[in-house]
Amino acid sequence: MSQTTPASLDFDPADPVTLTQALIRCPSVTPAEGGALALLGVVLSAEGFSVERPVFSEPGMPDIENLYARIGSEGPVFVIAGHTDVVPPGDLTAWTRDPFSAEIEGGVLYGRGACDMKGGLAAMVSAAIRYRRANPDAPGSIAFLVTGDEEGPAVNGTVKLLDWADRRGERFDHCLLGEPTNPAAMSDMIKIGRRGSLTGKLTVQGIQGHVGYPHLAQNPIRGMVRLLAALDAAPLDAGTEHFDPSNLEVTTLDVGNPATNVIPAQARAVFNIRFNDLWTPQTLATEIERRLREAAGNTVRYEISFEPTNAVAFLTQPGPFVAMVADAVEAETGKRPALSTTGGTSDARFIKNYCPVVEYGVVGQTMHQIDERVAIADLVTLERVTHRLLATYFAAAQHA
């Protein structure tokens, strides 16, 4: 096993800062691999990991490269998950630095993916390398699940990578996902679950006509207002022990009518619901349909459809593993993190079907923004938290 910098690299990957810089310099905007997975493959292979890079396909979708790496042949298997793909940088002239140059200034590292989530992934890779270098005969195994399709459709990424590994007989015990979970400081929170997401498309039909002759027309906007009010009239629920109340937001409302003297023929609305573990997409759709049906009566003509979703609510119950992650954060930051289920979706929704998963990463204040950045100190802290967690996890397994 390598104890020094691999010959093909000009930096030591046990340093989370230089590894983050190297990953940012790979322009891996979804669905492009951009060299990021290739770089990780070189790094992990040099440290003794077996590395494979399966490519998955789906009609109408771009082919996606992924990476699976493992060191060790016995259980327990601790999985570190993440993604190397990033969102487009947007207007390059709005950036104060090249988004793929990974410049450091004032203790801050700038670049697309700095916090979401090349910085988090790099810190965890560095921690695993440092741990295995010091403990080459440690019990158990460390595995990496890394996709290039988290920021995209999420069809040819983690969901298929997990199935691929499962069919090969790979079994996982626990997983740490390096999404940027912290709102302001590295001690803020770990995520033990995520809300689900359901998008509905509502169309109300009317009869187009002249505004001066309303008796010859039927304005669909009145019906739309009535239906949307019914959806918003009563809370979907009051929340649960670990989840906020489910929330419905109307995101689009349109009639496509450029004329001021014409009653439109149709009104359209799109809404999204972030729902807790009291609901499934099916039960939630049934409740929405009930509310619309009652509000519409016999006077409002409408159609409702729901987009397919793989974003379901889930919870990793607080227990020994969750406590172990929180203990590691507290030991390195001096403050115990909150257990949270807030925010958007993540690939944890797929991983939870195979093993308990917890999310912890860097501060995410600038994710997807112009001048995305991460504090150098946060990368160092994440590396130390992950290293401590690995040491504690495998020590506990050895004495179990």
Residues acting as catalytic residues:
85, 150
Buried residues in 359-368 as b, exposed as e (16+ CB within 10 A):
bbbbbbebbb
Helix/strand/coil for 69: strand
C-beta neighbour count of 370 within 10 angstroms: 15
Measured CA to CA in angstroms, residue 322 lies from 70, 79, 298, 311, 359 at distances of 23, 14, 52, 22, 10
What residues does 338 pair with on adjacent strands? 189
φ, ψ at 232 (rounded to 5°): -100, 0
Nearest to 119 by CA among 301, 291, 377: 377
Nearest to 84 by CA among 19, 129, 128, 142: 19
Measured CA to CA in angstroms, residue 315 lies from 139, 220, 310, 340, 355 at distances of 28, 41, 15, 10, 12
Q: How far apart are CA 2 and CA 68, in angstroms?
A: 20
